[in-house]
Amino acid sequence: MNTYTDSELEYYADRFMRLRIFRHGINLAQYMANPVAYELLDLPVEPLLPTQQAAMLRIWQRWDTGLAAASETANEDDDIEIQAAAWDWRDLLDRWREETAEAERALDRMSQRNGAYVEPMRHHRHHGRNRTAANFARKGA
């Protein structure tokens, strides 16, 4: 049986709680037997709490990732679980694919040169009315 000083026990117990190792079915005695091994385990990540998920959605909305439509309809006073369940990443991918296809359809009628879209110019370099205005020899300058 190992004996630990109070400072060691407090340090490792705080670390045990901070890393939330207890949530994976490991008790403090098991952790104290080999703390390095348990810290290096690839423990699964816990799912976000509803308040954390709502905060994550607000941050993503500010980053303009397409979540604005779901967040605009929901207010802060609404149920947080409804906000969290309002979106699915598959729906976002479908929406982005549709927007991309729509943008490409708008470009289909444009001509291309070497794969780059080229829009025909709507003006010419020399206009007829400017030829006389730019003739400085005629004005005696």
For residue 112, tell me if it sits in a domain.
yes
For residue 137, tell me if it sits in a domain.
no
CB 114 within 8 A of CB 120: no
User: What is the tally of structural domains in the chain?
Assistant: 2
pLDDT given for residue 48 in this prediction: 86
Cβ neighbour number for residue 50 with a 10 Å cutoff: 15
Q: Are residues 17 and 62 in the same domain?
A: no
Higher pLDDT, 64 or 100: 100
For residue 81, tell me if it sits in a domain.
yes
- Quick one: which of 16, 52, 20 has its CA closest to 32? 16
The whole-model pTM stands at 0.35
Q: Are residues 55 and 98 in the same domain?
A: yes
pLDDT at 82 over 70: no
Which range of residues forms the domain containing residue 23? 6-40
d(CA 33, CA 51): 36
pLDDT tens profile 99-120: 999 988 887 777 777 877 777 7
pLDDT given for residue 97 in this prediction: 93
Handedness of CA 55, 88, 72, 84 (dihedral sign): negative
Handedness of CA 26, 27, 31, 33 (dihedral sign): negative
pLDDT tens profile 9-19: 999 999 898 88
For residue 133, tell me if it sits in a domain.
no
For residue 129, tell me if it sits in a domain.
no
